[in-house]
Amino acid sequence: MSKCGQCIIKRLNPLKCLTHDELEKFSDHKTSLFIKKGENLMTEGNAINGLYCIRDGKGKLTKLSTNGKEQIIKFVKGGDILGQRSILSDEPVGLNATALEDMHVCFIPKQDILDTIKDNGQFSLNIMKIISHQLNEANILVSQMAQKPVKERLAETLIHLEEIFGVDNEGCIDVILTREEIANTIGTATESAIRLLSNLKKDGIINLVNKKIKIIDKSSLKNMSEGY
């Protein structure tokens, strides 16, 4: 099991401000988990007793509607942490966290997190910043779903996915999503998402390479996302 102090992932999240002793404590108490593609790391409505730190892999955070349809709220990758809101609010998990590919995750017990929040002001501040940022993201998502046409939401989502995951050696967005997952991200039917992607390809704005998407004309996509 790798030591937290030696993990380069910590520079991407609040763990970067921990002292040597705090990192050693986390290392001694943490559990390393392997989450296979398609498996849930967190399940909506369940209680959790710790914080998850993603070492590598990609995942999605989703919410189920009353009719059982999935809405993708956010995408996560190595360096992201999950569960901080539930730890502080002492409430059940509000979203499902599912692996889009195999993931290695570290689980840090709740009491260790709470003790460190009390003792390390910078760690506490960084946790609060993440929660505040996520609240702002949720507000933006609600606004987009209510105000933007689905075509604009798709354009914005493709740009956002490239910003999150980067591109692979072929220049494609470095994540594989099904057409249904894309539809569930922008809040539309799968058939509608397929048609919109096909139109973007026909217009030379994107290219579809097997199951991946390559942005060809980012300027046009950006204009589309802004309603031009």
Report how far residue 156's alpha carbon sits from residue 139's, in angstroms, rounded to the nearest whole number: 16
What tokens appear for 184 in the block?
């569930």
pLDDT at residue 191 is higher than 80: yes
Residue with tokens 């689980």: 107
157 and 186 belong to one structural domain: yes
**pLDDT of 10:** 65
At residue 135 the predicted structure's pLDDT band, cuts being 50, 70 and 90, is: confident
Mean pLDDT over the full length of the chain: 90
Q: Of the candidates 110, 145, 180, which is a domain's last residue?
A: 145
What stretches of 55-120 show up as alpha helix (H) in DSSP? 84-89, 110-119
Report how far residue 60's alpha carbon sits from residue 72's, in angstroms, rounded to the nearest whole number: 7
pLDDT at residue 150 is higher than 90: yes
Q: In this structure, what CATH number is given to the domain that contains residue 182?
A: 1.10.10.10
Q: Of the candidates 114, 145, 176, which is a domain's last residue?
A: 145
pLDDT at residue 146 is higher than 70: no
